[in-house]
Each structure stands twice: as C-alpha cells, then as structure tokens.
Amino acid sequence: MITEAQFKNELDLIIKNAIREDVGDGDHTSLSCIPSDAQGKAKLLVKEDGIIAGVEFAKQVFSYVDKDLQVETFINDGEKVKYGDVIFYVSGKSQSILMAERLVLNAMQRMSAIATKTAFFTGLLKGTKTKVLDTRKTTPGIRAIEKWAVKIGGGENHRFALYDMVMIKDNHIDFAGGITAAITKTKKYLAEKKLDIKIIVEARSLEEIKEILSNKGVYRILIDNFNYEETKKAVALIGNTCLTESSGGINEKTIRKYAECGVDFISSGALTHSVYNLDLSLKAID
C-alpha cells in the first residue's frame, strides 16, 4: 500500500489542481461584489440522511485557500447524519469561503455517498469474517479522496494504483503465456528491482486455482466470477495457503451469500463508480 507521505502528496495535488481548474485567474463574481476585507460565516448543512465523509479534507481545502479561515466542527467523519444536521461552521474572509465552497461541496458530497454505500455493504456482512474492498474503478484525478471515503465507511482499500501491488489478471496471464509463467516472471522482476510488494493472482476456474497454488509467493487469490458452489470449493481448496477474494458483479443482493462461502475479502467497483452524491449545502449565516 502507499505510504502516508504518498497519500498526503496525492491530496495536495487534488486540492491544487481543483482550485486551479475552478478559480483560474480569479473568482470574478466574488471579487466584483464583495469587499476584500469583508468577513463572513457559513454552515455546512445536511439535506439527506447518510454517513458524512470529507470533513478533514474540507479543513485542508480551507487552509489551502486561506490559512486564516476557522472551522468549528460539530460532526466528524464516519458519523451518521440526518436531514437538517450542521456539520461545521467556517468563518473568515467571505471571498475565501466562496473560493473554497465548490471544491468542499463536490468532494464531501462524493465522499459521503461512497462512505454511505460502503457502510451499507459492510453492514450486510455483519457476523462474517469477510471485509469489503474497493478497486481502481475510481474517478480519474480524485482516487485518494474516494479511497479515503471507503475507509471512513468501514471498508478497506485494495491496492492504490499499479505501483503498490502486483495483480496478475486474465490478460496478464494470457499475454505472459500462462499462470506459472506470469508468476515466475513476476517474482524474478520483483527480485531484480528489489521491490517488496504483494502478489495477487486472478483465477477463472478451479483448475487455475490449483496451478496458482503450485507456485509459492502468492499473497491472495482473486476468485473471479465464480458462482456460490464454485466459490465454496475454491475456498476449501485454497485453505490457509493464502488469502481469498471474490469479485465480479457482486451487489447488495449477493454479497452476503458470497461472504458465507468463507472468502476473506469481497471487492466491489460499485463502491466508487456507482454512487449518487449525498445532498449537502454551504449556507451563509447572517
């Protein structure tokens, strides 16, 4: 997984690029009608029930825009919220609040939706050992905050990107000349590059699982698009040799049944690619 420093750098890049994209050479609406020394206060208002996420990110945005902006927090990341709740007050220069407004709302609405869906999926697995994983099916440019939201919602992060974990999937296997060839080449490459990163291998059948198990050094087997009975057989076959992960079109109607097959993880791209923003609003206070 990526380091704390790498993650912080990703957040800094998101904020810097988002403000560049949104503000450009100036917020001319605010600049034209609000005095530069005018002070204001606003509240973040919840307009839909869910799990709030992005409070700490919002603080980073406000600080980036204007270090003198002050945030008074009432509800923290990961807490349940309902219509009418106030998450925080932000006070300081009115121009600064308005400059940060859209990025804060866009990020928090998206993050809260992801956290809410993740919490729902996690709740469906209550009483099992199975944990929910996200994927790389994220919005380009804002992966860090989307994966952060999954954590806030009670899920776990899969690899962050292509560089922090090896994941040998069907196309890699076919291009490399088979499972054993792909694993052998991968271990040789990692040794030569002195890279200490984990290896996951995707299996499309029980026969492929047997071949994966004949190779050492695999951290997790991805049991992809198996039905329930096949998944149970796969879990029994793998035993304690390595960790197991189910994926492939798993949704809220099927996730519990896959968990009951005994897998360690279930990965779902839907956590990040199929959510509707939670309704939030930043309103000025007189």
Q: Which residue has the tokens 């932000």?
A: 90
Annotated active-site residue in 77, 101, 134, 202: 202
**Catalytic residue, candidates 41, 43, 47, 102:** 102
Residue 265 near residue 135, CB atoms below 8 Å: no
Active site residue 137: yes
Residues in the annotated binding site for substrate? 102, 135-137, 159, 169, 202, 224, 247-249, 268-270
Annotated binding-site residue numbers: 102, 135-137, 159, 169, 202, 224, 247-249, 268-270
Measured CA to CA in angstroms, residue 178 lies from 106, 175, 201, 246, 247 at distances of 44, 8, 12, 21, 21
Catalytic residue, chosen from 43, 47, 151, 169, is 169
Rounded Cα distance, 144 and 159, in Å = 11
Structure tokens of 231? 């998944």
Query: In which element (H, E) is residue 200 found?
Result: strand 199-203
Rounded Cα distance, 118 and 134, in Å: 9
Q: Report the C-alpha gap between 82 and 80 in whole angstroms.
A: 7
The one catalytic residue among 77, 146, 224, 245: 224
Q: Is 224 a known active-site residue? A: yes
Helix, strand, coil percent values for the chain (each to nearest 5):
45, 20, 35
Choose the catalytic residue: 59, 137, 204, 256: 137
Which residues make beta-bridge pairs with 192?
A: none
Active site residues: 102, 137, 169, 202, 224
